[in-house]
Amino acid sequence: MKKKLNVGALISGGGTNLQAIIDACRRGKIDAKIVFVGSDNPDAYGIQRAGKYHIPTFIVDYRSIIRQVKENPSALPPPDDFDLQTQLQKQTLFGSDTDPQRVRDFMITRAIAEARLLEEMKPYKFDLLVLAGFMRNFSPYFIDKVNTNPELPRIMNIHPALLPSFPGVDGYGDTFRYGCKVGGCTVHFVDYGEDSGPIIGQRAFKIFPHDTIESIKERGLKLEWELYPECIQLYAEGRLKVVRKTYQMRAGKTWTRAVVEILPPG
Ligand code: GRF
């Protein structure tokens, strides 16, 4: 029998994408197995979904960690191997116009929470980490510890918009409010930026005049439930390759981007 891909999942909410992945695994539609489900939110319903299938779960309560650090920074110090300057140099979540103190606070509080996450994840051997409605951005501290092989990223995310349009927390809402005539969802690898990593797969749907945010969200989610398992299966089959492409642009300029090549089966 073919070896299954061990998948860890992180969620923040209802977990319908998690459910779609669990179902695809159980029905043998994908060669994968979920080995843990973690959440930053103690009330995430997705944790209960995981429990039903006896999947190990854990919570790292980001909100409480961030509050504790604000109240008493010495009580919760950053991990020993954390170096603020390195993190600030690597990160691409914030632009130069962001208050530097805010960026520093973010890097420190996240590294503390992320070190806890890594500790919780340690007992499980996972090949791929999927973010299924995990509403926290990672700092480079976490990403570098999971992505140990530069050739093959190990963190996937699903985003409710056709990236690179509408990154951020409300993809369907932003798509609707902008007046788009198509919407969609994107599965991508996670890099240091916000929803900016190499795109693995996308699905699009039409937006009609009678649509509302709720109706497009409903349509979009149905596509997400198909797309995410498909992308995980491509990963399981070893068919995703990240390559850096450089393009010649106008005025002698070049543009470089890491893109995903989908290799043929077999
Ligand atoms: C999905 O729309 C996903 O694209 C976004 O958050 C939502 C999570 O939904 N990142 P669920 O928790 O999987 O139901």
Active site residue 159: yes
**Which whole number is the average pLDDT over 205-222?**
98
Instruction: Please say whether the beta carbons of 158 and 185 come within 8 A.
Output: yes
Please give the distance, rounded to the nearest whole angstrom, from the Cα atom of residue 34 to the centre of ligand 1: 17
* Residue 99 pLDDT greater than 90, yes or no: yes
Mean pLDDT of 154-181: 98
Question: How does pLDDT run across 9-60, given as a tens digit for each residue?
Answer: 999 999 999 999 999 999 999 999 999 999 999 999 999 999 999 999 999 9
d(CA 183, CA 220): 8
Structure tokens at 51: 């429990």
State how far the Cα of 103 lies from the Cα of 128, in Å rounded to an integer: 28
Please, which residues have CB within 8 angstroms of residue 36's CB and are 6 or more apart in sequence? 8, 9, 55, 56, 57, 58, 120, 121, 124, 126
Say how many Å lie between the CA of residue 60 and the centre of ligand 1.
19
Pick from 185, 221, 228 the residue to mutate for probing ligand 1's pocket: most ligand atoms within 8 Å of its CB: 221
Q: What is the pTM of this model?
A: 0.97
> In order of start, what are the domains of the chain with their CATH numbers?
5-240 (3.40.50.170)
- What pLDDT, on the 0 to 100 scale, is given for residue 151? 84
pLDDT tens for 242-262 read: 999 999 999 999 999 999 999
Nearest-atom number in ligand 1 for the CA of 220 is 2
Look at ligand 1, atom 7, and give the residue with the nearest C-alpha: 133
Residue nearest to atom 10 of ligand 1 (CA): 133
